[in-house]
Structure 1
Amino acid sequence: MAKMVDVLQISNHVLIQRTRRLPLAGRVLVAVGDAVQAGDVLAEAILPAGVITLAVDRGLGVSAEEADECALRKPGDALREGDLLAQCEGTLTRVVRAPADGRLIDFSHGKAVIATQELKVTVQAGMPGVVEDIYPEFGVKIRAEGSLVQGEWGNGGICESPLRVLDTLETEDGEETELASGEILVIPVVDSAEVFTLIRKYELAGLVTFWLSPALKQSAQDAGIPILVISGFGAGEVDPWVWELLQGCQDKLASLNANFTLDRFGERPELVIPGEGEKPESAMAPQACLAVGQRVRILTGAAMGQIGRVRALEEPLMFESGFAFPTTTVELASGAQVQVPQQDLVILGV
């Protein structure tokens, strides 16, 4: 039986459709048919912060129902410190005032809720494209065509710049390769902190690599630019098909979306190189069943990081761990065949 596993979409020309949604109701800023760029804000919402809850009923010395009837402000009103919130007439006039500047969020059951701060939540396009559909108050769906390379990890952030694809950071004479400010650097492996020195020196816009040393993960998180790791942490095979695709995109404008929150929406950090041509391929789903002939990467074991093709789907096999798992026979580039638990594979959707 074939197991559902994760898919990394990799394609030279594919139809790309992405949904961008706010976590709470807000305001959509674009319309169907609008052209957008990677950094464009598509929707925004205001999130209350610094919340204060006042017991108005206690302050007035009345019941909750009576306090609600004494309200002088309604939810949504802007407040200044000292503004009257409620007033109760009687032998003595009793009042409750706003303790700080803010906005009244709620007034019910004898309580007033005031937000003294507001946080703006936004969603960006993450790639150049066209708005295809609107989800009122929440977000949009955008569409694009082009080359797509999805990765295993991103450190956050979005950029749109030309690609600079290099085998190595040194010239034939052993000198440092000069880079241009604002480029997205693409290199096979990041195993030295020197790369982060170059990022600062040349003010690079982004970084794409197949493998990142685990010791440098914190440096990558703090780099201040979007970073995409295609294959994972450690060392392994550089996918020749993907490397050839990236080399063919040398100097082309690309959008890098390294947001780590994409997994919540069934998406991955990704690099998009816009382009039109013949009919584009259909994108694979975020997960798919393993099948004979698929290209896969091995995630664990002696062959970790290597790429091959599924040659057979096998019955459960007992492993050294003492557990039995459905297995897959994978043929590596060397021609060798290995048996791998199906759960330890990721499909490279080409």
Structure 2
Amino acid sequence: MQEFYRSIVIREQTKIRRPRVLPKGGEVVVRVGQEVSPIQVVARTTMATDFAIMSAVEKLGIAPEELGEYLRVEKGAAVEAGTVLASRKRLLGERQVVSPVDGIFFDVVNGRIAIQPTSDWLELRALVAGRIVSYVSNRGVMIETSGSLIQAAWGSGREGVGQLKIVANAPGAVLSPEHLNMDVTGQVLAIGVLNNVELFHRAEDLGVRGLIVGSASAELCRASQDSPLPLIVTDGGGGSGMCAPIFQLLQQADGRSVSLFGDYNVEAGQRPEIILPQAAALGLDAVTVKKALAPGQLVRILGKTKTAQVGTVKHIYNRLQQTAVGMKVPGVDVELPDGQTVFVPTANLDVIA
């Protein structure tokens, strides 16, 4: 039986189908065959009464008992999405906590701000330009588009859309304060390395629509999960930067619209995706994710050594091989661009489709 390995898709031009589904049944407001824009509402449902909770003390970098002096809205006040609830001036600029929804400033508990939503509807937007090809019962639609597709290593679970901006011209470049100015508002920024939580929050305060990074620290990934700003990590942790095929594809798409889907589910095999729509080419097929490992196959190396490097499979071992730490594992020989051949356990590589 042919064994399939974990695959990652990096395609410059392909047909893409993306489901957009509500968390529960509702009303689909578009028709099959209709062209939609990224900001267009495709389905809606009545909103649950759950509170919107924001960890204000983590965002502001203060103790819970200090939050009162930084609040900008009184308890019980009506707020709109985007209203500044609390703020604090820092070295890199003002850090803000904003309401994600229209609602009422309900309470502050243990440094967390609770907003009670007042909107009756949860609206689901397309987030990607394309054509509606089918319904997903009464919960959503399937959108078909064509363009570039990148599957990433990790995502914060958030979604977003904006104009792609390449921050630096090297895949290993590190985001610095000089990269963040008023010109980045409304942009999706791409950079090799981001390990500074302060800079992440600065980007959020400046109105950045999303961040695509090659590598990020575990601390930053944790912080991003409490933020509405989407973070997509293409390669992994540490400071290895972004692998060449992904960086080159993003460079070619600089200035184009980009859609970020940050859902990440290891058990279900769901990866975060970066979609860059563009005019269709004839004869495109929908992307196939699973792919067999074979000699000549392009792979990306994961793990602590040679991270983010891309090479070619030269030999697949039929028997377990002993590693430097004494473990016996299945693996392959990979030839790197510099001509060096290294042994890589199959658990430490992605097949590039």
Q: TM-score scaled by structure 2?
A: 0.69
Number of equivalences = 280
Whether the aligned pair in 2 keeps the contact of 1:310 and 1:329 (CA below 8 Å) is: yes
Partners of 1:163 and 1:18 lie apart in 2 by 20
The verdict on how the C-alpha distance between 1:256 and 1:302 changes in structure 2, with shifts beyond 3 A counting, is: closer
Sequence identity percentage:
28
Matched position secondary structure for 1:250: coil
Whether the aligned pair in 2 keeps the contact of 1:9 and 1:283 (CA below 8 Å) is: no
1:180 maps to 184
1:305 maps to 308
Matches within 5 A, 1:28-67: 28-45=28-45
Q: Which moved more, 1:314-323 or 1:196-205?
A: 314-323
The verdict on how the C-alpha distance between 1:299 and 1:348 changes in structure 2, with shifts beyond 3 A counting, is: same
2:60 maps to none
Matches within 5 A, 1:196-207: 196-207=200-211
1:80 maps to none
Matched position secondary structure for 1:219: helix
The residue type equivalent to 1:243 in the other structure is F
1:68 maps to none
Residues 1:158 and 2:159 are matched in the alignment: yes
Shift of 1:316: 1.9
Matched position secondary structure for 2:291: strand
2:317 maps to 314
Whether the aligned pair in 2 keeps the contact of 1:169 and 1:177 (CA below 8 Å) is: no
The residue type equivalent to 1:268 in the other structure is R
Please report the RMSD computed on the Cα atoms of aligned residues, expressed in angstroms: 3.2
The verdict on how the C-alpha distance between 1:205 and 1:244 changes in structure 2, with shifts beyond 3 A counting, is: same
Residues 1:227 and 2:231 are matched in the alignment: yes
Match of 1:193 among 177, 197, 202: 197
Partners of 1:170 and 1:271 lie apart in 2 by 20
The verdict on how the C-alpha distance between 1:175 and 1:216 changes in structure 2, with shifts beyond 3 A counting, is: closer
Matches within 5 A, 1:1-350: 3-22=3-22, 24-45=24-45, 123-167=124-168, 178=181, 179-236=183-240, 238-260=242-264, 266-279=269-282, 281-300=284-303, 302-320=305-323, 324-349=328-353
Partners of 1:142 and 1:244 lie apart in 2 by 26
The residue type equivalent to 2:320 in the other structure is L
Whether the aligned pair in 1 keeps the contact of 2:213 and 2:242 (CA below 8 Å) is: no
Shift of 1:143: 0.3
The verdict on how the C-alpha distance between 1:330 and 1:122 changes in structure 2, with shifts beyond 3 A counting, is: farther
Shift of 1:251: 1.5
Shift of 1:285: 2.8
Partners of 2:41 and 2:288 lie apart in 1 by 26
Larger radius of gyration: 1
The residue type equivalent to 1:198 in the other structure is R
Shift of 1:23: 5.3
Whether the aligned pair in 2 keeps the contact of 1:313 and 1:328 (CA below 8 Å) is: yes
Matched position secondary structure for 2:221: helix
CA deviations 1:165-223 (Å, max 9, x no partner) are 0215789xx95563331111111110223422430452211111111122322222234
Unaligned runs of 5+ in 1: 51-117
Whether the aligned pair in 2 keeps the contact of 1:3 and 1:343 (CA below 8 Å) is: no
Partners of 1:199 and 1:316 lie apart in 2 by 49
Shift of 1:284: 3.8
Q: TM-score scaled by structure 1?
A: 0.69
Whether the aligned pair in 2 keeps the contact of 1:39 and 1:159 (CA below 8 Å) is: no
Q: Which moved more, 1:300-309 or 1:210-219?
A: 300-309
Partners of 2:199 and 2:283 lie apart in 1 by 35
Shift of 1:46: 5.1
Partners of 1:199 and 1:49 lie apart in 2 by 30
Matched position secondary structure for 1:217: helix
CA deviations 1:231-287 (Å, max 9, x no partner) are 1112325322221221122221222222336x6765422221111153365354333
The residue type equivalent to 1:252 in the other structure is R
Partners of 1:170 and 1:26 lie apart in 2 by 41
Shift of 1:140: 2.1
